[in-house]
Structure 1
Amino acid sequence: MLNALRIKLNQLYFKDTQFANLMTKRIFNVLLVANPYDAFMLEDDGRIDEKIFNEYMNLSLRYPPRFTQVSALEEAWEKLNETTFDLVICMPGSDNSDSFDIAHKIREKYPHMPLVVLTPFSHGIRERMEHEDLSIFQYVFCWLGNNDLLMSIIKLIEDKMNLERDIEEVGVQMILLVEDSIRFYSSVLPNLYKFVLQQSQLFATEALNAHQRTLRMRGRPKIVLARSYEEAWSLYQKYQNNVLGVISDARFPHQGEQDPLAGVQLLREIRKRDPFVPLILESSEEDNRKYVSELDAHFIDKNSKKMDVDLREAVSQNFGFGDFIFRDPKTMREVARVHNLKELQNVLFSIPAESFFYHISHNHISRWLYSRAIFPVAEFLKQITWESLQDIDAHRQIIFEAIVKYRKMKNQGVVAVFQRDRFDRYSNFARIGEGSLGGKGRGLAFIDHLLKRHSEFDEFENASVMIPKTVVLCTDVFDEFMDTNQLYQVALSDADDETILRAFLRAKLPDRLVEDFFTFFDAVKAPIAIRSSSLLEDSHYQPFAGIYSTYMIPYLDDKYEMLRMLSDAIKGVYASVYYKDSKAYMQATSNVIDQEKMAVILQEVVGTQYGDRYYPAISGVARSINYYPINDELAEEGIVSLALGLGKYIVDGGLTLRVCPYHPTQVLQTSEMEIALRETQTRFYALDLKNMGQNFSLDDGFNLLKLHVKDAEADGSLNFIASTYDPYDMVIRDGLYPGGRKLITFANILQHDVFPLARILQLVQKYGQGEMRRPVEIEFAVNFDAKTKTGTFYMLQIRPMVDVKADLEEDLTLIPDSRLLLKSENSLGHGIMEDIQDVIYVKTEGYSASNNQLIAYDIEKLNRRFLDEGKHYVLVGPGRWGSSDTWLGIPVKWPNISAARVIVEAGLANYRVDPSQGTHFFQNLTSFGVGYFTINAYIKDGIYNQQILDSMPAVEETKFIRWVRFEKPLAVKMDGRKKLGVVVLPD
């Protein structure tokens, strides 16, 4: 049974309650029809707006209404023409004022506007009202000089307007008050509302930040007033699944007649339908107390002097408000008390069985959750009755799992305010301070929000997608640190980096952070990365990535030692804002250094501990646009670089595995054995858990180890990630086998889908780019458990792909052929180059493939001269560049042509070779942004205007090649999305 429920819980997608969609109909403007004296009396001393405003603010309510007072019909029309009113309150005076007449006329013209009578109960008015037609009024209230009544009137009407929609939307609860005595409900409602609103202020603490807190109050229970048996029964039947409790008088109209036991009859019918709903019977006749045991209800004596207090206590104890109190069912003594969801989660397994059984068999936990507007869990637990499970421990477990699932969902996508008593292993993202989160911080908050909104990320059986636990020290902490330690003078000086770092390390962080850091250590229990998140970094328009430091520290049992390392790392990140390179970069990008402010991200490091080393199974960078698509790949399908170990290896330009997530089985680097042995990862980075940071240095990688792949093999971390080269059979086998070199191919994950990496990457690119409305670059890491074949994909960062070369708005097809030296409709690369004047090309007259080796020597000599001068050139020749088979092309190695920035395969009519797309040195093409053109002009596939080159004088010429120089630079333009590349002749 428990497994069936677990399946149900797993299938249940806890959709977050959209509190913003609740209470959408509001009363903003109230027209008060009263003679000036009565209006003044109502306002006490003319400050009705101020009083209502204060009342609203005290209860954390927004949008207090505005009151406009009129006493004559002409005035009323004038105001109604000027302003849209949501409510008319009519105050008939003791004189023969015409407020009823005005109300009738307003009703004729505005049939849907709510009208309410508010009257001081004197004998004269009561007589007069007996002869009035009150059917046009929604309610009649008795004014007893109580200012709270105005707020109750407004809230009662708002509740009525929003009731149906809010119940349908999220299952908001309803308190049904059945009472026909005007005096009585005019007195009860203000107290009831005040209590419910104060309670909702308390439960709003389940919210993670101030904005959420205000919104959560919209989920409070609605109060609905019924004044007859039929009205009450109709409301109960319609909303019976959402009734938090019923408060009923004993005597009120039933079938048009006053019935002294209508309330008892109503509660009897309700109890038949629902054995658990709390019922309160109130009566001024003590004799009615005898019915409460039969009804399992609570009795309130209306004649009691403390009737209001009694009612408030009864509602508090029975309707699930306030703290949840676990009681011993025999003595009703308190066993445990919980204030919030986290505390409930913590005590579930320690509550005595008989107490736990008592509460679940009476549906108390579900009701408490409902009253606190925790609808998804309440709804789920309400269905799990004692009869359905009949196992105390299973019941504890399922409630625990439901709360955990809800809290994880709740924490996701929200920038919570860091609270020590709340932040635990189910927390996700919190901020310390009120300033900005900085660029990376904003990016992470955006990712978290993105993952929450798209349920596809939850649909993998053996994978979850999330961000690591994160706390951001906002920029105001940085400001405080700089000011209190008076660091600006040294920071903005010309001191060297080491001096600046030492000055920052001597400074002191605010003391109040110590306890926060300890809480974070306890929640994470893993190494921590300390990343910069400056205001300018990863901003939408500025390429500020990687300018500042990122440190990592190991997790230690000695909290104070860990605190020392963390403090040093934070100060090191702060100091990096003012290093020489940062200042130079600021200048180059026309930013002012003192505008730069630094937030710091404290983030759990993704990885697994192997002895004294710590690293993830996979780290990677995904780009949503691929400017080097080969074979069946499309530019918009994106590209991913994968590596074993920490992501620093990728950032440092190490050999990574290049994969298109839509073609995970077609990996160029593993397509041929020779390429796989030469172009797969041989080293990786891991965090050194023994390094205690005593020699804290400018190099943020001082405690990282650069290891060989065979070290990972010894750690046992290569399952499903590596392939084995068998030197005897000269083959590469997917998987780990004894002996033979291990190659990082991720073959079992990419080829055999042991983990759904490709599918996750497709989603990440699709939604990342879709919501940022521009190509994005995403850093990620994966923890993979080879035993269970399960894993967690962590998104670490998202930023726009800002590539200066990539700003290409021009339509290259519009450039006339006469202006082109080269045009390829099958080119790789993207961007614009405007600093190349030289072309080296292979002569085609008398060309023979037998000379290809000699041609390679000639090119190598010229390339060396270009390297010495720091210049670049366009290289054109027949066949496959870099082919080891000299009959297929010129057998250059990358160092022989490394100064070329555009490489062209130009087929000849008598020498046709399938295009290679530069596969022989593909890694270098992509790393250096080199363009690779394939042109077969003889079959009208592209343009190669060789006559122009032949007609120019050569700077140098050999038997096989010519080098020519243009007076002005050529313009190389490549559109990687359309695979179109051109070299435009100078004007």
Structure 2
Amino acid sequence: MLTKLKLNRFKDTQFANLMTKRIFNVLLVANPYDAFMLEDDGRIDEKIFIEYMNLSLRYPPRFTQVSTEEDTWRQLGNTMFDLVICMPGSDNSDTFDIGRQIKEKYPHIPLVVLTPFSHGIRARMEHEDLSIFEYVFCWLGNTDLLLSIIKLIEDKMNLEHDINEVGVQMILLVEDSIRFYSSVLPNLYKFVLTQSQEFATEALNEHQRTLRMRGRPKIVLARSYEEAMDLYERFKNNILGIISDARFPREGAVDSLAGIKLLGEIRKSDPYMPLILQSAEESNRAYASRLEASFIDKNSKKMNIDLRDAVSRNFGFGDFIFINPRTMEEVARVHNLKELQNVIFSVPAESLQYHIIRNHVSRWLYSRAIFPVAEFLKQIRWEGLQDIDAHRKIIFEAIVKYRKMKNQGVVAVFQRDRFDRYSHFARIGDGSLGGKGRGLAFIDNMVKRHPEFSEFENASVVIPKTVVLCTDIFDEFMDTNLLYQLALSDADDDTILRAFLKAKLPDRLVEDFFAFFDVVKAPIAIRSSSLLEDSHYQPFAGIYSTYMIPYLEDKYEMLRMLSDAIKGVYASVYYRDSKAYMQATSNVIDQEKMAVILQEVVGTQYGDRYYPAISGVARSINYYPINDETAEEGTVSLALGLGKYIVDGGLTLRVCPYHPDKVLQTSEMEIALRETQTRFYALDLKNNGHNFSLDDGFNLLKLTVKDAENDGALDYIASTYDPYDMVIRDGIYPGGRKLITFANILQHDVFPLARILQLAQQYGQAEMRRPVEIEFAVNFDARTKSGVFYLLQIRPMVDVKAGLDEDLTQIPDDQLLLKSENALGHGIMEDISDVIYVKTEGYSASNNQLIAYDIEKLNRRFLDEGKHYVLVGPGRWGSSDTWLGVPVKWPHISAARVIVEAGLTNYRVDPSQGTHFFQNLTSFGVGYFTINAYMNEGIYNQELLNSMPAVEETKFLRWVHFDRPLTVKMDGRKKLGVVVLPEEE
């Protein structure tokens, strides 16, 4: 009788009055690109829309984005906003001022700062008064954070009311590190929201399911001992569990044991409250076991996974596991209410008693928002009844009544639409698109909005047909195949790749892939699109793999190749170079999630090979302007064949789209013969992937220009060298060597390439509000003189705006170690004391690969100590051609802060352009100097270095240390860079 009354009474007040205070309008103070990244990538409006539909609420929040002070006041005057999110970009210092003014005028609106995780912004925030902001969050490229911010503030607004109304539970998180709670909260919310969707079992219809989700546990963030204690005292009967850091403020000062004192107090008052202690100090593990708390090591690469598991285990989420109290082994497991009802009479008595004493059953029901039963069972304590069979009966009857009270109904499953031939861009999954995926969505959107792109008679501008496997597919793949342990270990790359290739992708993708094959009917590129890749403060360009597969009539064979390629891209997140890069950029590898882009390869089939007429990379700022060019007009690297050739640092044609008829490399015959492209990449259509390997170019052919000539692919792209008249003629003529000059397209405008590139750079830069880098490819039909320009990717080039007023030409030469009149970079560095340089005595390019190994070893030592150095050597750093320079990859030199190409009299290479290094150089503000001292182009005081003792010396390198730091000064506008020697004492 008691049961019936309790359940009926609860039924009346169920969930209708929960979560009544909502955030409907959000004002985002950010520049357009930051806003686009937040909104379109994670489809924030869509994500929140879906969640609100699930909660049967009709008004999901609308995001209004402003980037100027005038816009801010206009919007605030027109609309009632419930939340303001300020996103200070590195170039936008007035965000905080706008925030302050809003707080003065609208004190009731909560304000939040969302700041990119970068050194410059962190340094600036140390001097800001942040007291007016409810919270400061740090943006790590994961759109789930925005959802967490809204939920955290809504939870805070509704906490007291909802707990008093029906006994909603809360999880208390005590943490004062912005970096950590910004990473932990999205994980916690994702976990809690997913759990609350999962517990909508088959016994619920859609309406009841959505109502129940309103009762999910709230998450409350406390940032000091006093705040945490106050929350605990007020709501101790409704706390599912507590997660606490060890070190945070107590009594106004940071106390390294504050968390231990807090959990100690709580443990005294409640012997069974689930506690989790997280700390970066291993010594705190002992305290955790004394407090009967779980311990999470913050330094662990899989900290977020460990935390999720601990919350799931201790706070009543997931399956209910009955254990034998003596051995702690599992004796029974239930997924849902119906299963609990079925096993309750067969669970061993000692196990059931153990769980009843500790309130585990009611905690599990609370976490699933089954309040009537949870509330009722919580009150029937073991001390009162002390009869195990009576408890079984009560639990059983309560569940039966509750389940009868609910109408039976089927949960509707959301089905994805199929991709068709009219689609450009589709997604599989609900996670993020990742960096490249975001960039593609952004370009697609940009081309549609600017009609000029569609006004060419003989050219169309599009993106290739694309499907993105979102990051949640990656999570599912990693989880279901239990790959994290191996992936995060120190296993070598090949072992990791083999394990990933053995693993299994979700079966449901097969039909989607077949549909994609049917539509594309062309080779497919499988590109990485990770969360952190191309994020505009720390680009990850070129770190992960991109594979290509040919199109086959046998779709099962094609499916096998596609699956291998996707797994290969997933595996590349965990390769050694990627881990080193993570370390260099202070990122946690556990934050990295990989979306994968499946994209039609741009190109034409010639027999058994496939490649485009033109590939290119355009940059909207040119750090090496020559002749009439200006830095603002940008620069483009063009090549025949697949773009991997450009990425690998091959010899490309460098042209400014505003001066397409003035190309340095074709200005003199001798230079043209020496410095135009001689090789190119094509996809081998015969290779069906049985030799799949770490090298993502395993099925690419490196061919000569002669091969393209035989394919008939050079019309309008090549010029012919006439050895008799010693001239170069634009076009294809019999005999004579063919040079890749793109002359008919650039000089004679057969195809409007220069104009399209001007538009792409202009609009890309205007909308991202910073310089951009754009990858593209062109399919050109020589018969009709028409073609399709495909935009493949856009990402920001990070433009360093450090102030520099000094005239560097005035510094006397004898005070300089290095001086370059052709320098890349801008700003001042005063914290470098070490120089690593390649010895020039007896130097031979044949040793370049060995030199690369030496540098990698030294670089690792600098990374481990968090120090930087100046790197000097001959030729192009990072060229894949070992005769042109030392073939290092970025992770091998990532601790260098100035990289110098120093020409030798017998070994001169022109300043390198077009490698993926540039994205990283500009991102980290690294200086790149070109010096040819023997021609009086700059200064390289190697005699001084040779006279100093070496910290370490190998056959090819010397590492020299200065007692006091060198000063690096770079003027990007004048292309001047100097390294000034320390003053003598």
Instruction: Provide TM-score, normalisation by structure 2.
Output: 0.47
Instruction: Report which structure shows greater RCO (CA 8 Å, sep ≥6).
Output: 2
